[in-house]
């Protein structure tokens, strides 16, 4: 996906997915975490999928991070990732849920207890 002036890729994003517009797995999200399965890549793997697998050799990435590295729209990477998951070449897990909000009363009691211990 060689760039040209203006930073836009020469190959339209829909061609990188083989013309597929929707991912085969609806549970994939922008923040889903992708990890390579360790299986060897087949020789007939399309270039965009091979590039995604290559990026995953260095560790796990979210779909958004992979899209940025590949310079493709998130929607295209969702399609690529879903196909790789279908082929057991990539593992995908749900996004890490946001942390719960802490209980300010609990924190106050802990701080008071620590201060009390310090003054003993």
Decide: pTM greater than 0.75.
no
Mean model confidence pLDDT for the chain = 83
Tens digits of residue pLDDT in 36-62 = 998 898 999 998 899 999 999 989 999
Q: What is the DSSP string of the chain?
A: --B-TTS-BSS-HHHHTTT--S-S-TT--TT-EEEE-SPPPPTT--HHHHHHHHHHTTS-EEHHHHHHHHT--HHHHHHHHHHHHHTTSEEEEPPPPPPPPP-HHHHHHHHHHHHHHHT-
């Amino acid at each position: 996906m060689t760039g040209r002036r203006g930073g836009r890729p020469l190959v339209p994003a829909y061609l990188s997915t083989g013309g597929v517009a929707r991912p085969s797995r609806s549970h994939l999200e922008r923040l889903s975490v992708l990890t390579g399965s360790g299986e060897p890549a087949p020789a007939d793997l399309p270039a965009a999928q091979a590039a995604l697998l290559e990026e995953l050799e260095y560790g796990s990435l979210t779909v958004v991070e992979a899209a940025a590295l590949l310079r493709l729209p998130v929607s295209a990477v969702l399609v690529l990732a879903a196909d790789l998951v279908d082929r057991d070449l990539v593992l995908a897990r749900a996004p890490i849920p946001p942390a719960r909000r802490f209980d300010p009363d609990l924190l106050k009691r802990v701080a008071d207890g620590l201060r009390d211990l310090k003054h003993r």
